[in-house]
Amino acid sequence: MVSTVTVAIGRDHRELTDYYKEFLNALDNDAATRWQNQFTWALTRHLVAEELVMYPAFERILGERGRFIVDRGQSEHQDIKEKLNHFQSLEAGTVEFMPSLKSLMDDLAQCINEEEMVDLPALDKALSNKQSNDLERSFHRTKLLAPSRSHPVASNTSLLGTVAWMLAAPFDQLGNLFLRAEVSETLVALNLRQIWCLILALLVACDDSWDLQAGYGTLIAGMIYARELMEGNNTINSPRRSFD
């Protein structure tokens, strides 16, 4: 049976494919730019959620096979992030724009095919319903806190690289505000508050002894804590340990 988390990941894959089709059907450069921003945002948060939520699950549940899947996926993700970083800097209508998008989509299509045909079916067989539901919930929550633009790091083999990527999220969102015609002081203040909340989340995640296996879940817990602070829930307790 296909798990809920696999359905969620597949939904993301279909969404990215739909955005690519919108590029091909864009009537002008303004429309292409809008889809460029939407595609960049969707792919960035999808990659972050896979690395912070799914990769630890593969290793924990599938053991040696899971570690092989993660090693391959990290390498593929790094290539995709670097191409996405280049693509997001291009202006629609330039000579490089569509070739850069096609090269990015070729890599992404290969990654999607491997995940849907091999990796996720293997994980589905080993997941309980509760594990699948928990993963789907964590996957969704992590996407809410992901950056809106690609920030590839030199190496994608360590958790700290993804943590640094996540730290860019509030700064991306603050920058996105200034791309609009009108920016209120209240909106800027809210995003500055988000920056400090995310820094708090990282401090919470590193609060106790840093454990690479437990660190992923603890980091997500810290980020959820920060998001609840941003939503005005100041009565919650600070998370101290990772969760499955």
Domain ranges of the chain: 4-128+142-149, 168-244
User: What is the structure's pLDDT at 181?
Assistant: 34
Residue 213 parent element (H or E): helix 212-230
Segment 27-35 mean pLDDT: 91
Q: How far is CA 194 from the centre of its chain?
A: 17
pLDDT(61) > 60: yes
pLDDT tens by residue, 206-235: 444 444 444 455 455 555 545 554 455 444
Q: Return d(Cα 157, Cα 84) in angstroms, integer.
A: 19
- HSE, side-chain direction, 13 A CA sphere, residue 125: 6
What confidence category does residue 13 fall into, taking pLDDT thresholds of 50, 70 and 90? very high
- Mean model confidence pLDDT for the chain: 74
233 vs 143, residue with greater confidence: 143
pLDDT(197) > 50: yes
pLDDT(236) > 80: no
Among candidate residues 190, 194, 216, the one with its CA nearest the CA of residue 205: 216
Q: What is the dihedral of CA 154, 145, 47, 68, to 10 degrees?
A: 80
SS3 110: helix
User: Between helices 159-167 and 185-205, what is the axis angle to 10°?
Assistant: 160
195 vs 46, residue with greater confidence: 46
pTM of the model: 0.67
Segment 34-59 mean pLDDT: 90
In one-letter notation, the amino acid at residue 5 is V
